[in-house]
Amino acid sequence: MDREPGLSGFKNSGKNRHTPRVIAVSSGKGGVGKTNSVVNLAVALSEMGKKVLLLDADLGLGNLDVLLGLAPRYNMGHLLRGEKTIGDILVDGPAGIKILPASSGVQELTNLSLEQRLTLKSHLESAGMDMDVLIIDTGAGISNNVLFFNMAADEIVVVVTPEPTSITDAYALMKVLCKRHGERKFKLLVNTARSRKEAMEVYRKLSLVAERFLNISVDYLGCVLNDENVQRSVLRQKAVMELYPDSAASLCFKEIADAIWDSPANDIKGGMQLFWQQILDRDLNPELAG
């Protein structure tokens, strides 16, 4: 259905146009392997034949490019200042994925001016229309920027490890998104699990508490088993899917990518239109405007 141009969306007409899925990947705390999971899920989806765009949304401490050994000449700062186009700053990643690198010292998107938000919308729209999925690697924790991108996305994937602090902080993230912003559906990825049984126990504990006290839905996406090949890949600044495609971790990422793409259509909140609306209509979310 066509949407009128303006702050609430973009006109989506024509048989060949489609709306990419927008997935935010977050964690309650740092050090749980969130960004590494983002990269490898992107590679897995690309190997399934999907066109994938990664947005490094941790604008102050973005490290997608570092994780992959990339050295982009330009970044989001150049885009927002009008110095470069989206084509200038897009970086090619493994398996044909595209990456929008962050930059140090750029203010959070929640603090951008209307003109900057319009610029971002225009550029992302032109890049996203040829993509099947936009994956947003948010920062960790419950900062305004993290909440902003989770609200804007169709789907929220929370990465957690079996460590008690990780579980507690993941619950805190879901609680804030639920209580303050009405988010009711989450997907859980358990990273560095020693076994599938351990991962299911983490999910069981977290989902029971979340459903009991928050009345929210937490779906289990799957787990990534603890695999020394992941650390080897990080040291070599490559995706484990690229270096060790048959490793335990890589097989897990393939399973999770399948689970993501097989999610029923009614799990999707609003596609790219909602993403643009959230970016542009910041003033409708006064808690995120400061």
Instruction: Identify whether 6 is part of a domain.
Output: no
Segment 96-105 mean pLDDT: 82
pLDDT band for position 1 (cuts 50, 70, 90): very low
Instruction: Identify whether 51 is part of a domain.
Output: yes
pLDDT band for position 120 (cuts 50, 70, 90): confident
Instruction: Identify whether 9 is part of a domain.
Output: no
User: Could you give phi then psi for residue 138, rounded to 5 degrees?
Assistant: -80, 170
Who has greater pLDDT, 10 or 115? 115
Q: Is the pLDDT of residue 110 over 60?
A: no
The pLDDT score that the predictor gives to residue 12 is 35
Instruction: Identify whether 173 is part of a domain.
Output: yes
Residue 205 corresponds to which tokens in the numbers above?
Answer: 């504990």
pLDDT digits (tens, 9 = 90+) for 131-189: 899 999 988 898 887 888 888 888 999 999 999 999 999 999 999 999 998 999 999 99
Domain count, the chain: 1
Instruction: Identify whether 287 is part of a domain.
Output: no
In this structure, which amino acid lies at residue 16?
Answer: N
Domain residues for the domain of 177 are: 21-279
Whichever domain contains 118, its CATH number is 3.40.50.300
- Return mean pLDDT, the chain: 83
The pLDDT score that the predictor gives to residue 287 is 53
pLDDT band for position 59 (cuts 50, 70, 90): low
Strand order in the sheet with 52-56: 91-92, 98-100, 52-56, 133-140, 21-27, 155-160, 185-193, 217-225
Who has greater pLDDT, 17 or 220? 220
Instruction: Identify whether 230 is part of a domain.
Output: yes
The pLDDT score that the predictor gives to residue 82 is 81
Instruction: Identify whether 4 is part of a domain.
Output: no
CB atoms within 10 A of CB 138: 27
Instruction: Identify whether 106 is part of a domain.
Output: yes
Q: What is the model's pTM?
A: 0.85
